[in-house]
Each structure stands twice: as structure tokens, then as C-alpha cells.
Amino acid sequence: MDSMADPLDIDVPVRWTDLDAYGHVNNAAMVRLLEEARIAAFWQPPPEQIALGAPPPPAALPVGGAGAAVSTVIASQRIEYARSLEHRFDGVVVRLWLSRIGGASLSVDYLVLTRDDPAGEAPYASARTVVVLVDAETGAPVRLPAASREQLEQLRGEPLSFRD
């Protein structure tokens, strides 16, 4: 695709408890799958965990989990479901890219796919999260550093359009 240089494909395992009693991945669980993909894409594991096999993050945002100086806040999230997802031992593939790179925020667009659909033709869900970088102490927005910005440009792609 011209317009989407390099979306990332992140494998995310589905847990048995992601399903609800309808036998489908519950909509709140789908939000967790997106979150795990986003963390794998953007958070920095400590070096000693990378040494132990944690995948180094493909994009270099200066953020991490508890204890990091910069943390992320979700400003908004939207998701559309195309069909229901059942338990899959092979997990899902979350394809993600950046549909907007702002001063202190990013719009992450996603397709939730399975491994038998590398072309992304029949996504289970499509979604967008607006993430804001904030100072973990004060909560004030933190500007994306120039170095991150350059790397993030590699992930820039066309925005999804949503029905509702």
C-alpha cells in the first residue's frame, strides 16, 4: 500500500477468560487485546527483560509501565465489530499504524485479524485509540521527542473510517 508504509503486526494471545458466556471474546476483552498490542509496539521493556527474551519494541516511545517518568493516558477509543471472535489457540494478529501524530498525542488505528488473513481482508474489528503522553508525576502532556517522532513517521498510515 502506498499510504501505509509499515503497519506493525503484533501477535496477541487470546485467553480463555476473554470469552464471555456467549462464547465470544467480550468487547471489554477486545479492548485488552488492543492494549497489549499497543504496549508491545510502544513501551520500552527494561534492558534486563529484553535480555531474557522480551521483544524489543519496534517503535521508540519514551514510555513505560509503572514507575516510568512518562506514561500514557487514553483520551478516547472507538471500536467497530465486524463479527464475533471465538477462542483461538493461535491468538490474533493486531495490525496497527498511526493515523495521526500530534504534538503530545498519537492516534493508533488497528485491525484485529487472524493469521489466515495476512491481507487483512476480513478483520474481526477495527479500532482507534487516541493516546496522550503525560508526565507520570504531574499529569501534564509531554511533547513527543524529535527522535521518537522520526521513528513514528515510519508507522504513519491512512486513517480508518468508521460507520457510526
Residues that bind a copy of itself (CB under 8 A): 13, 15-17, 19-24, 26-29, 31-32, 35-36, 39, 43, 45-46, 48-50, 52-55, 65-67, 71, 73-81, 84, 86-91, 107, 114-116, 128, 130, 162-164
Q: Which is nearer to a copy of itself, 44 or 150 (CB)?
A: 44
Residues 6+ apart with CB under 8 A from 49: none
Residue with Cβ nearer a copy of itself (56 or 150) = 56
Spatial distance between the Cα atoms of 152 and 99, rounded to a whole number of angstroms: 11
Give the total residue count for the chain: 164
User: How many Cα neighbours within 13 Å face the side chain of 124?
Assistant: 24
Cα–Cα distance list, 126 to 107, 108, 138, 142 (Å): 13, 11, 33, 28
SS3 state of residue 129 = strand
CB nearer to a copy of itself: pick between 76 and 150: 76
Query: Based on CB atoms, which residue is closest to a copy of itself, 32 or 156?
Result: 32
- 10 Å Cβ neighbour count for 121? 8
Q: What is each CA distance from 150 to 59, 61, 112, 120, 146, in whole angstroms?
A: 10, 11, 26, 26, 6
Residue closer to a copy of itself, measured from CB, 62 or 91: 91
